[in-house]
Chains A and B, each alone.
Chain A
Amino acid sequence: MSLYQTEAIVLRHYELGEADKIAILYTKERGKVRAVAKGVRKTRSRLAGAMEVFTHNQLQLYQGKSLAKVNQVRVLKSFADLRADLWQMSYASYLAELVNELTVDQERDQALFALLLTSLNLLSKEENLMLVVRFFELRLLRLLGYQPELKCCVECDTALEELTKLKFSSQQGGVICGDCSAKDQYAMYLSKGSVAIMNRLLEIDYRHLNRLKLPVKSRQQLAKVIPNYLQSILEKPLKTLDFIRVLNAQGSN
């Protein structure tokens, strides 16, 4: 139990009682923290604006037994533009949901914090949104120790160059050759080009992300394969993905 200062990004929040909220924050110093923000649902609240999702804050928190309490807050970047476009908002929500679902409370990971902040920045600049999302997913997987095997078949170790029919196995966490793919009936098609893009995304400096081209076919493949892998790690569906699917289905882009 102590008072401390930290930078944090608001991942989501839910209502508590009449006028309060519990915010799930990803802090730079202590990882994921749940904090009570008092009175934020009242119109006069000074905290309210800062507790909106995606906001990057400098906070003073008081850590209680399980929940923290938000004492003071200074907005560093509100990311208001991410909330002003349905697609940007949906993808940013997806990043926030991933971080929230894949991390545990009070486990510090400054690299993850930096990745989230960078990716939100890229999304707000309206770069190729899909590319930013794929970049985030792969880097997140690597940080959390789930980096998929992309150099050789996960089953028989045959190098990628020698493989002809490629698939991706979420169950095994990597590319799988045509022969071995019989073992995982849910393995999905993945072209060599898509694998190359995945490898590039794992290496690339985020400042050069816009140099990368994402052909339509790879875009479609990766939009299936990577989220599927993430959901198989989580062992549950991601809510924002359902939402994005509905938006796509209505073709309102």
Chain B
Amino acid sequence: MKHYAQPIAKLIGQLTKLPGIGPKTAQRLAFYILDSTQEEVEELALTIKDVKDNINYCSVCNNFSAEEVCSICKDETRDTNTICIVENSKDIVAMERTGEYKGVYHVLHGSISPMEGRGPDDIRLNSLLSRIKEKNIEEVILATDPNVEGEATAMYIVRLLEPFEITISRIAHGLPVGGDLEYADEVTLSKALEGRTKV
């Protein structure tokens, strides 16, 4: 770093902390920022600060939101009796892209992991429970990741919600559309067979 002027070295150091950014990419970004106009740089800086200052958790579903209640929870055309539980806000974006789901969400911001020692207290379950107690919820869809942590989280929530009289469903595991059966792995294929639907 001694070849750089100190502020540049500091910027490169900060950029390297970002995911997927190595020293070389950081260097390129730093020099790009140096070459940009004063306005562009200020806008970037303010945007970053703005995100941190103004984004909070939605008071209903814990999604990231600029307002007290997020746009999905506010939307009156949506079915508020169905809650889809996801691990993080990025998953909502993925679900929304399908255009199929009309209910609301609940974001856990994490998953239960025995290996990492992350227990039920480390994810946002209390707000889910109070939602279910207070509102007339008919169905809860568990859309956590189909990996060990996601399964553990789903199983824990099933146990937690047992006393309530609601339908609990888990999203299906199966073959990707446009895939090739011959190249499917054994576990996925057996899950797909297990979850087959009548036509």
Residues of chain B from 46 to 88 with CB closer than 8 A to chain A in the complex: none
Tell me which of A44, A49, A94 contacts B186 (CB under 8 A).
A49
Residues of chain A from 5 to 31 with CB closer than 8 A to chain B in the complex: 12, 17-18
When distances are taken between beta carbons in the complex, the residues of chain B under 8 Å from A244 are: 114
When distances are taken between beta carbons in the complex, the residues of chain B under 8 Å from A80 are: 187, 190-191
A50 x B187 contact (CB < 8 A): yes
Bound Cα distance from A89 to B156, whole angstroms: 12
Binds A, one of B7-15, B32-40, B135-143, B177-185: B177-185
B176 contacts the other chain (CB 8 A): yes
Bound Cα distance from A246 to B152, whole angstroms: 14
Tell me which of B115, B120, B156 contacts A93 (CB under 8 A).
B115
Q: Using A53-B148, A246-B120 as known contacts, say yes or no to A12 and B115 having CB atoms under 8 A apart.
A: yes
Binds B, one of A111-119, A225-233, A235-243: A235-243
B195 contacts the other chain (CB 8 A): no
Q: Which residue of B lies closest to A74 (CB)?
A: B186
| Number of A-B contacts defined by CB within 8 Å | 78
Interface centre among A89, A94, A96, A244 (most CB of B within 10 A): A89
Residues of chain B from 167 to 183 with CB closer than 8 A to chain A in the complex: 176, 179, 183
B188 contacts the other chain (CB 8 A): yes
Tell me which of B117, B121, B155, B188 contacts A240 (CB under 8 A).
B117
Tell me which of A46, A53, A78, A243 contacts B183 (CB under 8 A).
A46
B117 x A242 contact (CB < 8 A): yes
Tell me which of B148, B183, B187 contacts A89 (CB under 8 A).
B148
A17 x B20 contact (CB < 8 A): yes
Bound Cα distance from A80 to B184, whole angstroms: 16
Q: Using A49-B187, A93-B114, A252-B159 as known contacts, say yes or no to A86 and B20 having CB atoms under 8 A apart.
A: no
A250 contacts the other chain (CB 8 A): yes
A137 contacts the other chain (CB 8 A): no
A109 contacts the other chain (CB 8 A): no
A243 x B187 contact (CB < 8 A): no
B115 x A44 contact (CB < 8 A): no
A18 x B20 contact (CB < 8 A): yes
B147 contacts the other chain (CB 8 A): yes
When distances are taken between beta carbons in the complex, the residues of chain B under 8 Å from A239 are: 114-117
A46 x B114 contact (CB < 8 A): no
Bound Cα distance from A50 to B185, whole angstroms: 7
B115 x A96 contact (CB < 8 A): yes
Chain A residues at the B interface, C-beta cutoff of 8 Å: 12, 17-18, 43-44, 46-50, 52-53, 55, 75, 78, 80, 83-86, 89-90, 93-94, 96-97, 239-240, 242-244, 246-247, 250, 252
Chain B residues at the A interface, C-beta cutoff of 8 Å: 20, 113-121, 147-148, 151-152, 155-156, 159-160, 176, 179, 183-188, 190-191
Beyond the given A78-B186, A246-B119, could you list 15 further A-B residue pairs with CB under 8 A, ordered by the A residue number?
Answer: A12-B115, A44-B176, A48-B185, A49-B186, A52-B147, A53-B115, A83-B151, A84-B155, A86-B155, A93-B115, A244-B114, A246-B120, A247-B119, A250-B120, A252-B160
